Structure 1
């Protein structure tokens, strides 16, 4: 196993785990996530669908080990998701971007490392 593949595997699994936990918090309507939704004027009814998106992204990253194109698609979707999250923060003037920026960085890292390991289009 190459060092690049090892880094890709660690980053991807950690990102998927963090996103899975975030999805869980969304799906159960955890108070911390509800407070963020309220601060951003995002309807609480969106929490479950957003949680499903995070869960799908998490599973897609993991599926990328077997089907690289799925990992690439999941990575792109997650980057777009977190760019949208940052936009939601900025829309209401909220500068507490740490979580969204952290998840964006993890998603970009998983996407880029996946492209390096599997080729740009997920197929080598």
Structure 2
């Protein structure tokens, strides 16, 4: 079970880092997505910080599962917020945030079980 938790955690952490880099470098695609849901572009760095914290927590959780569980729950909350922002803005590109939220739920389930 540890291998499954490690694979899910590492892959999710990589996606979070990739997304954070896009936000920090103001990737045009991410800027467009943020403006379409009404999120202020000058505050994107806060989202990037949350994503990086989640990625670090997921990796640290492979060594001490309570941190991984807390990080996974935080990532679930982060993507739940993203889903809600897309719904509020009546934006149709909700699938990426929804899928990543589900992957974070899987990580939250696997991390304590693998301990």
Normalised by the length of structure 1, the TM-score is: 0.89
Deviation, 1:115, is: 2.1
* Runs (4+) off by over 4 Å: none
The number of equivalent residue pairs is: 115
Show CA shifts across 1:48-81 (max 9, x none): 1100100000010000012211111101100001
- Aligned equivalents of 2:42 and 2:81: distance in 1? 17
Q: How does 1:1-124 map to 2 (within 5 A)?
A: 4-118=1-115
Deviation, 1:95, is: 2.2
Contact 1:23 1:54 in 2 (8 A): yes
Runs of at least 5 residues in structure 1 that lack an aligned partner in the other structure: 119-124
Normalised by the length of structure 2, the TM-score is: 0.95
Runs of at least 5 residues in structure 2 that lack an aligned partner in the other structure: none
- Aligned equivalents of 2:21 and 2:99: distance in 1? 18
- What's the RMSD between the two structures over aligned residues? 0.9
Larger Rg: 1
Show CA shifts across 1:65-105 (max 9, x none): 12211111101100001000000001111121111012111
